[in-house]
Structure formats: C-alpha cells, structure tokens
Chains A and B, each alone.
Chain A
Amino acid sequence: MITIVFYILSAITLGTAFLTILSKNPIHSAIYLVLCFFSIAGHYLMFNAQFLAIVHIIVYSGAIMILMLFTIMLMNLNKEDERHKPILSRIAAVVSFCLVAFVLLATFIKAQPALREYKVSGQDYQSIQVLGKVLLNDYMVPFEFASVLLLVSMIGAVLLSKKEHINS
C-alpha cells in the first residue's frame, strides 16, 4: 500500500518537475512547480513529518510560489518578447549545468549508505515541542544564523526599494 503511494507520488513529483522545465508558458511551469511542491509535502507526510509537510506547504506553495506567480503574471511574458540568447551564453549554461550535475553526482556517490535499521529513540519527532527543543538546544547556532540571514535579506530589500530616496 505505502509502496504504491510512494511510486505514485514520485511519479507526480518527477513528472511535474520535468513539466516545469519543459512547458513554454511561464505560468504553466509555475503551476507545475506548485504541484511538485505539493507532492513533496506528500513525501514528508509519508515520513510522518506532519509539521514539515504543513510548513513546506505554507512557505513554498502558500507564500513563495504565490509571489512568483504574482510577478510572472504582472510581467506579461510573451513568446514575442523572448530575446534570442547568444551562442556563447548557451554554451556557458550547458557547461555550468554539467559541473553542478557532476558535483551533485559525486556527493550522492560519496554519501553514506542508506540506513537499513532505524534507531528508536522513543521521542516523537513530529511533535513540535520536541522539534523546538532540538532546534534551540542542539542546533542553536545554525538556527540563529538563519534568522540573521533572513533579517539581512529583509533589510536589503527595504534598502533596495528606498534607493532613490537615499541618493537625493
């Protein structure tokens, strides 16, 4: 049962991910990406990680992708407006993609083998209380760094939108 669900979900994830890249219409690819995010949330649910699944939906589908759709709809992208890219930049894109793919492959091959047996710690990691304790005890520093990063990007956004005002 679970295996069948997993295969269906994976098929949806991969299919929509490919369609995101392949579809000509930017709005359509954005919608395919939303569907992809939903299927990934489904994968999280299969790990019994409810919190992660819901937060993934709220953050990615509910906020980021809506902003993305928002900008795409406002930009009014048409086929006529699409500029022809020079050959050189195409080659550069292909090369950089190959390099990224190489790095990814290397890390996956070098990665630790999949655990065959799961340790039972007795803790309910889908409970947010446990999650909060882990985040603020064991992973305190990265957590705070993430918040500082978000703060910096927020200040940066405000600064960008106020640029003319500062110069004058």
Chain B
Amino acid sequence: MDQAIIIEKGIFIVAIFAITMLFAMYETLAERKIAAWLQDRIGPNRAGPGGILQPLADGLKLFSKEEFFPATQNRFLFICGPAISMITALMTSAVIPWGSSLNIMGRDVVLQATDINIGILYVFGVLSIGVYGIMIGGWASNNKFSLMGAMRAASQMISYEVAMGLSIIALTMMTQSLSLSDIAAGQHGWRWNVLYQPVGFLIFLVCSFAETNRTPFDLAECEAELIGGYHTEYSSMKMGFYLFAEYASMFISSTVLAVLYFGAYNYPGMDWVKDNAGANIASILGIGVLFIKICFFIFFYMWIRWTVPRFRYDQLMKLGWKMLIPLAIANIVVTGILILFFDNNLHL
C-alpha cells in the first residue's frame, strides 16, 4: 500500500510537471497569437500548421545561442538567478487540488500532490522567495540597469504581497480553512468565492498581475527605460529560463485564481452528473472545467497585457499602498461584520 502511494504520487507529480511545462511552452505561442489578433494581425503561422511548432523553434533557437557571461566574479549567483526563478515557479503546483478524487481500480486517487493544511501560506511562501531569482540575477549581472530592474521587482513584489495577503485573509475568514483542498471543496456547485468576495477577488487579481511581473506591472523589465531590466545580461537558455519561468508562474497564478475564487473544479450541475454518469465522469469533467478556467485567466492576462500600458513607478506604489491596502483592510472589516451578522451561516 505504501509503495502504491509513492508510485501514484510519483506519476501524478511527473504529470503535473509535464502539464506545467506544456502550458508554459504554448503560452509563449498563445501570447504572440493573441497579441497579433488584438492588433488585427495573424501572428506566427509558418512553423507547422498554424504555427503549432513555433515554441519548439523558439526553444531550439535559444539553445543554439551563445552562452554569454558578463565580467563579474559572481558566476555562481549569475547562474543561480534563473534557476531560482524556475524552481519557485514550479513549486507552487504541489498544493493545487486539480480535481476531486478519482476511483481507479478500487483505489481513491486524490488529485493533489500534497494536501497540507496551510496550503495558501505555502503558496505565499513560495511566491515571496520567487523574487530572489530576479534580485540575485539582476545583481550578479554587474550592470546598473539590471540592478535597477531587480530593485524595482523587489519593491513591487513586497508592496503587492501585503495587499494580496490581506485580500486572502478576508477569504479565509469565510472558508475557515487555509487548506486549498478544503477551499476548493467548499465552493461546491455554484457557490464560488468570487460571488461572496468580489472586492477581494479584484485585489487578488491586481496583485497577482504584479507578482508575476506582467504588464501593466512589468517595470522590472521595461525595455524603454531599463533595456530589458534584470535579464539584460542574460543570453541563451538562461534567458530562456527567465522567460519560461514567467510563463510557468502565469499558469500557476491563473490556477491559484481559479482555485481560490472561481470554484476550482466545481461547476453547476455537478451533483446531477455524479448521480447520472458516475463519480469518475464527474471528476474528469471537473478537471476539464478547471483547465477551462485556467485558460480563461491566461487569456485574461494576455488580454490585459495588450490593452493597458505600463504604470509609472510612483503610480504603481500609490496604487499598491494607498488604494489596494486600504481597500483590502476595509474588505476584511466588512467581511467580518457580515460574518457576525449572518452568525456564521453564510454558506458554511
């Protein structure tokens, strides 16, 4: 039995890793395609039918580029930067509940790598160390522009982490649990958290844009002022790792958004499916629903990127500290009052 669990988890982890990588790969293509469509163009369509092999071509190009090191004594840290970014981007997926349990050959297979009861905090912890990749890389580049990019990334991430945490507190006040599987299970059917926590969702959304360094918060790598920011000095696959890590973390943060606020694997009418078609079908359908939600959020990220211009640095800080944090605190207070008023009968 013990060995079976190890094998089961092993297969599951490899599958998640593969899916994350696949998503990150095709996000690069999707980004270029969506950018093109929103600008009335067609986008890459030469490599394979409809450009389906474009990510492979890009990867091959990055692999065959010259490996360049700047004149610095910190070669080890220089290599560490992209590695840390990549590791932290991939680590979060360990606590995501990808679906309710499946019944395979008489065994209940839980579709979650590990169910720790502080799942949200784990996500936060990984998120907060993610900035080290950018900071160390930017500093070890021995380049003023890279360093400035790293500084911006660090200050931006710290500022927005606060608002993000506060918006999560309001959520956990309602769910009464920090475990992601409990939160996912609590949103059964139509009772998605976004309906109860619209303001919290908005704050979390804005902050996750900032945490993944996406436009309109991509000040760390803005080409106009910082010639690329923290990855100015990077080339070849190390550069590829930074870019890949950004897309992987975009996938993961879309997943977190879907799990926390958009009902994870729950969909209206899931009980009916379960009664009529069996638990396994309902569960597989749930996984599909989760991935549809994730794809929507990834599209949303790109949609925003090609709509909104970059914030100025002072606007960024003002938005973070003077708008989002007071709003998040007010949200906590209102949520607390409502919970008291409805005497814990909200939906739990």
A contacts, CB < 8 Å to B: 27, 31, 34, 50-51, 54-55, 57-58, 61-63, 66-67, 69-70, 73-74, 126-128
CB nearest to A27 among chain B residues: B139
Do A62 and B129 touch (CB < 8 A)? Answer: yes
Partner of B118 from the list A31, A34, A54, A63 (CB cut-off 8 Å) is: A54
Complex CA distance for A69 and B77, rounded to whole angstroms: 14
Once A73-B150, A74-B151 are accepted as A-B contacts, the answer to whether A66 and B121 lie under 8 Å apart by CB is no
Once A31-B136, A128-B178 are accepted as A-B contacts, the answer to whether A66 and B158 lie under 8 Å apart by CB is yes
| B218 is an interface residue with CB less than 8 A from chain A | no
What are the nearest 5 A-B pairs in CB distance?
A: A62-B128, A57-B125, A54-B121, A54-B125, A58-B125
| B122 is an interface residue with CB less than 8 A from chain A | yes
Do B121 and A62 touch (CB < 8 A)? Answer: no
Q: From B124, B125, B151, name the one whose CB has the most chain A CB atoms within 10 angstroms.
A: B125
B contacts, CB < 8 Å to A: 77, 116-118, 121-122, 124-125, 127-129, 131-132, 135-136, 139, 147, 150-151, 154-155, 157-158, 161, 178
Given the complex, which residues of A lie within 8 Å of B121, measured CB to CB? 51, 54-55, 58
Complex CA distance for A58 and B117, rounded to whole angstroms: 16
Complex CA distance for A74 and B131, rounded to whole angstroms: 16
Complex CA distance for A31 and B135, rounded to whole angstroms: 11
Given the complex, which residues of B lie within 8 Å of A126, measured CB to CB? 117
Do B139 and A61 touch (CB < 8 A)? Answer: no
Could you tell me the distance in whole angstroms from the C-beta of A74 to the nearest C-beta in chain B?
Answer: 7
CB nearest to B131 among chain A residues: A66
Do B118 and A69 touch (CB < 8 A)? Answer: no
Given the complex, which residues of B lie within 8 Å of A128, measured CB to CB? 117-118, 178
CB nearest to A73 among chain B residues: B139
Complex CA distance for A73 and B146, rounded to whole angstroms: 12
Partner of A62 from the list B125, B147, B151, B155 (CB cut-off 8 Å) is: B125
Do B154 and A31 touch (CB < 8 A)? Answer: no
Could you tell me the distance in whole angstroms from the C-beta of A102 to the nearest C-beta in chain B?
Answer: 37
Could you tell me the distance in whole angstroms from the C-beta of B220 to the nearest C-beta in chain A?
Answer: 13
Given the complex, which residues of A lie within 8 Å of B154, measured CB to CB? 66, 69-70
Could you tell me the distance in whole angstroms from the C-beta of A31 to the nearest C-beta in chain B?
Answer: 7
Once A31-B77, A34-B132 are accepted as A-B contacts, the answer to whether A127 and B161 lie under 8 Å apart by CB is no
Do A66 and B117 touch (CB < 8 A)? Answer: no
Could you tell me the distance in whole angstroms from the C-beta of A54 to the nearest C-beta in chain B?
Answer: 4
Do A57 and B135 touch (CB < 8 A)? Answer: no
Complex CA distance for A34 and B77, rounded to whole angstroms: 14
